[in-house]
Amino acid sequence: MTIPAGESPAGARSDRHPPDVEILLRTGPFHRALRAAIERSGLTLEGLRQRLAQRGIRVSMASLSYWQQGRSRPERADSLRAVRAIESILGLHTHALAGLLGPPRPRGRWTNRQSTERRYDGILEPAWALAQAIDPVLGPSDHKLRVFCQEDIVSVGADRAIHSVRTRVVLRAMEDDPDRHLAVYCAEPGSAAADITPSARDNCRLGKVRRHHEAAVIAAELLFDRRLRVGETHLLEYEFTVDSPATSLDYRRGFRYPADTYVVSVRFAAGAAPVRCFGFSRHGPHGSSHTDEELTVTSGRWVHRIAREVPPGVLGVGWEWE
């Protein structure tokens, strides 16, 4: 029997040593991880297509075949919905496959300011200022890295303003050759980008820094001492200090790509503890914000929250002073 390319059942592998599925799900690329996960499941592509159809999701055999060959990738909303269903059908963790997809490839003959800004809608505001600050320094390393784990430590002063955010992050290379990470900070409305100072604390050095001339937005390159190979991780630590009197009501972290683990902690100065703290989130670029949980401020004036398998969107901690 002739088996068309990309449609072999689980047992018909040409590799003498089949790839480790879990490694591919951590390192990518997407098409190889998808193919290996399908082979491990024992499903044929036709069987997978039928399982999707049972869930009301129609994907052609050609599309499934192209996805696992790397000839095309899912980008439209219906295709991304199919990827999430495939994760469930194959018994994978949420975002195991979707997290390997990079940003959508540009389409059309040109792009305009509106389409550029849309990439940052639902992440942090103002989206137009983010686009103008980030895009000029957004290099090829961006889509090659994912957050393995990240911790933000936020310090709120007696004046009820955020004075510093210290970040420790472990990044994982999804492709070869990433050599830098782009850190972004948005201060409170009424502040200025000149009020924000970035610093490279450990295992990185400061590269290009771009401040927006109107909004309190800054983007800073953090350079590694070498290029990473696919699957490697890199630990670094950096800090933003803020010299602004603007009162803060929350701290939020925007995620353009899925992340494995995120921890955020906020410490309030003596005599400046809020009356209420809560976690909030917004999933996806156009999702609605909702309160996740009430949070307790400890006797040390700390509050924290932890999230696993973080989807693109926003996670944060909010508080009320009165």
In this structure, are strands 205-211 and 217-223 parallel, antiparallel, or unpaired?
Answer: antiparallel
pLDDT in tens, the chain (322 residues): 222 333 333 333 333 334 578 878 776 778 888 999 999 999 999 999 999 999 889 888 888 988 888 777 887 778 888 998 999 999 998 778 887 875 555 444 434 444 444 566 557 777 778 888 888 888 888 889 999 999 999 999 999 999 999 999 999 999 999 999 999 999 987 788 999 999 999 999 999 999 998 889 999 999 999 999 999 999 999 999 999 878 899 999 999 888 999 999 999 999 889 999 999 988 765 566 678 889 999 988 999 999 999 988 899 999 999 8
* pLDDT per position as a tens digit, 26-41: 767 788 889 999 999 9
Preceding omega of 126 cis (within 30 degrees of 0): yes
Instruction: Quote the CA–CA distance of 150 and 260 in Å, as a whole number.
Output: 9
* pLDDT per position as a tens digit, 221-264: 999 999 999 999 999 999 999 998 788 999 999 998 889 999 99
Give the global pTM: 0.66
pLDDT of 41 reads 92
* Tokens encoding 282: 């917004």
Instruction: Quote the CA–CA distance of 149 and 318 in Å, as a whole number.
Output: 22
The contacts of residue 202 (CB under 8 Å, 6+ apart) are 168, 235, 236, 237
Preceding omega of 29 cis (within 30 degrees of 0): yes
